[in-house]
Amino acid sequence: MAASDDPAVPPLLALGVAVLAISTSAILVRWSDAPNVVKALYRVSFTVGALGPLAFRRRHRERSSIGRRDGVVAVTAGVLLAVHFVAWFESLDHTSVAASVTLVQAQPVFVVAGAWLLLGERVTRRSLVGIGVALVGMAWLSVGPALAGSMALAGTTYGNALALLGAIAAAGYVLAGRSLRRRLAVLPYVTVVYTACAAVLLVVALRRGTALLAYPPHEWVLFVAMAIGPGVLGHTVVNWALGHVESHVVSVSLLGEPVGSTLLAALLLSEVPTAGTLGGGAVVLAGIYVTASARRRVAGD
């Protein structure tokens, strides 16, 4: 993949900033005591608030060209993104930051598997090896505590399962929006998808009877930080980088999130991962790396 223009900001530098910003997400979620659906709602809503006016001014032509079919795809992507956020945020209440972030970051493995099963895309032997290695690591992280026989550790299995659900939903979001992203500039794309995601989260919050406004000032600061950091400077910049660097570079770069989040959790939450979590996480990351590098060979990008 080659960019058609010369960006003002070096894409690799922007990608590095994005990975650092994304690495703060789990910490900000842990610091907030609000219901998880509310955290997700305001993270996405404030991101839309920051990007929407800019998208309207700069990309009005692309924004208005979204047809009915593309709208359905965008809404589908938004629904899957909402599932991803709620499942992953909830997982952080039940398992360690290291395990949760590593498992949810395994979405490239599910993207490859989904593209093969649903879209008929070719999967190389190297990809299969990478998927197999990642699945072994996921099993290690997910069921290892239960097999160890500790009830305290066994309780993390539920959180790990939610993180995996978040990874699967994120993979569906990527697959649903992949063709749409090729036809639309990044700002119109993320604005439409984030708006659909926020609408789904708002409906869920209202149906649950969850309070939307009764939160102290520090919670609102955290909501804004989630939007500006992981939202605008993180995932939105990653979407932009996909237009300027090879997709496998982006996929491999995102492996820095589990490492960054784990270090921040140790420093800011005094949460030191166990040897088993580090070992299982290393296996998952190795599998993702092999899978992502295999995608380069297939796509030729």
- pLDDT higher than 50, residue 283: yes
Mean pLDDT of the chain: 82
Can you list the positions of beta strands (E) in the chain? Answer: none
- Residue-wise pLDDT for 150-209, tens only, equals 444 555 788 888 999 999 998 888 888 776 766 777 777 788 889 999 999 999 999 999
Rounded distance, CA 140 to CA 4, Å? Answer: 43
Position 197 scores a pLDDT of 95
Model confidence at 62, pLDDT cuts 50, 70, 90, reads very low
* Amino acid 66: pLDDT: 66
In a domain, 2, yes or no: no
Q: Is residue 179 part of a domain?
A: yes
Under a CB-based contact definition with an 8 Å cutoff, are residues 177 and 193 in contact?
Answer: yes
Q: Provide the residue type at 116 as one letter.
A: W
pTM: 0.83
pLDDT on residue 179: 67
Report yes or no on 3 lying in a domain. Answer: no
Quote the Cα angle for 241-138-245, to 5°. Answer: 10
For residue 90, being part of any structural domain is answered with yes
Give the model's pLDDT for residue 218: 96
The answer as to whether 5 is a domain residue is no
Residue 6 lies in a domain: no
Range(s) of the domain holding residue 143: 11-299
Does residue 246 belong to any structural domain of this protein? Answer: yes
Residue 292 placed within a domain? yes
**Could you give the number of structural domains in the chain?**
1
